[in-house]
Each structure stands twice: as C-alpha cells, then as structure tokens.
Amino acid sequence: MCEYHKYNDFTIGLSDNRKSRHFIDITKGCVGAKVTEGGCYHSCFSLKMAKMARVDFTQTVIGTFNTNLLLRQLKRVKNQSYIRIGVAGDPSEAWGLTVKVSQLVHNMGMAPIVTTKAWREPTPGQLKEMAKAKAFLHVSCSGLDQDHEIERRVRILQQYKACGGNPVMRIVSAPFKFGTEEQKRQDWLVLNAAKNKIPILETPLRVFKNVWYFDKMDKTKLKHHISIFSGKPDSQFTAGFILTNSPNNMCYACKECENECQPKAEE
C-alpha cells in the first residue's frame, strides 16, 4: 500500500483553479485536519483532494517567499481584479507571509482576499498592515464550531474592522433543528455580524450521512449535492442558501464577483 507523504516544499506563487482563476497558497496542509478527522466538519474538499494524491493533509508546509518571482507572475494576470489567498492551506499558519503577499497583490492593483479559519491569531500590527493593503479578510465560522473558536474568530473580525480593514464573516450554514446548540450558535453569528455591520458570505455546508451531526439537521431541507466532476448527484447533501436566500451574496471585494470565494450551492 502506498504511504501518505507531506506536501513537497514549494515557492509561493500563482496557481489556477478549474475555472482558470488565479489564487495563491501561503501554506499547504492544515491544522484543521489535526483537530478533526476528515477536516473541518468532516467535509474538507482540500483534504479529499490531498488524500487522492496520497498527501498527509495534517502536516503543514509553509511556502518560501520570493518577491521577484511573485511580482513577475502577478504582472501577467489579466482580467481579474482579485487574488484569493488560501485554498490548499490556511493563511493563519503564516500571518507574516500573508501580509507580504497581500501587499504585493494590492500594489499590483488587485484585491487580496484572505480566506481563513483563523486557527492562529494575527498580531495587531499584522492586521493593520493587511488593512493598509486593503485585504478582504474572510474568516470562516459555523454553528458547529466550539464556543472558544467562535469567540476567537469573531474577535479577529471585529479587530480588523476597528483598524479600517474589510472583514467578511463566512458562515458555513446548515439547516440545524430548532433548539439545538448548533442552531443557536448559527443564529448568534448572524446577529453578531448584523450588530457589528460585518458582511456575511454564506457557504452552504455539504455533508455525508455518517457525520456525527447529521441527526441535528432538518432533513426535509436537504437535497443531494451535485458533483463538480460528473454533474450528477453524489453522496453528499446540502440545503443551499438558507441565511441570505440568494445565490448572489457577495463581499463586494471584486469588480466581477463570480462566487469564486464560495461555491454556489449546486456546485
């Protein structure tokens, strides 16, 4: 049997997704895979892709920063007003590099969009530098998070707003049954974002039947997820948009928002 291995050492640079949109990974692998088997909510797409490549996603590899190389790559970007930072890894595991990359992206006239679960907190100075670079800080939250995790993530969003940054609360939504702790946390997140005037970007959760929280969900609101590969229903379930009731919810970071930073419910 082929053994798993960690990601190879790499130099931070541009990559392309299946829609030929550019993004940058500061790290590869994620501490979230150590916290929960199966990754966040047992539903991490990046972890699934890593497993297919026999990569141990629990081992984080931090990229090497080469200013001139990344600048040359960014200069070649056409018809894209933003660069997403954080796909195969979480930028919070290297905030210093995240700041440097955000500054380069901003200096090239594009919006840095940093997507993170905020496993580690940035320093006040790092938040200020990202704000100067006009980075949009997308912090992912869910009713499935522990109270101390929600507290940390909401605190970072509020601190970023206070220093003039562009915070976005990415709520990984699910149709939790009324009265469950998960439903109460999810409602609290929505109310907190509204109270602090922080935009919400909804990401509908995709789940398997065997996850521990499946019975906490209102199954009448679930439908089969459509695979991005086959275009047919797969073994996952989703409720689609339930907080915003709109497939066009956005953070307004980009001139041509294509929902690149949060998949549409049917994808």
What pLDDT is stored for residue 254 in this prediction?
A: 60
Residues 215-230 pLDDT 10s: 999 999 999 887 767 7
Domains of the chain: 14-238 (3.20.20)
Q: For residue 85, is pLDDT > 80?
A: yes
Residues 165-204 pLDDT 10s: 999 999 999 999 999 999 999 999 999 999 999 999 898 9
Q: For residue 243, is pLDDT > 50?
A: yes
Tell me the pLDDT band of 53, cut-offs 50, 70 and 90: confident
What pLDDT is stored for residue 18 in this prediction?
A: 62
Output the DSSP codes for the chain: -PPPBPPPP-B--EEE-TTS-EEE-SEEB-THHHHSTTSGGG--HHHHHHHHTTB-TTS-EEPBP-HHHHHHHHHT--S-SEEEE-SSB-GGGGHHHHHHHHHHHHHTT-EEEEEE--SSPPPHHHHHHHHHTT-EEEEEE-TTS-HHHHHHHHHHHHHHHHTT-EEEEEEEE--BPTTSHHHHHHHHHHHHHHHTT--EEEEE--B-TTSTTGGGB-GGG-EEEEPTTTSSEEEEEE----SS--TT---S--TT--STTS--TT-
Pick from 17-21, 111-115, 152-156, 175-179: least confident: 17-21
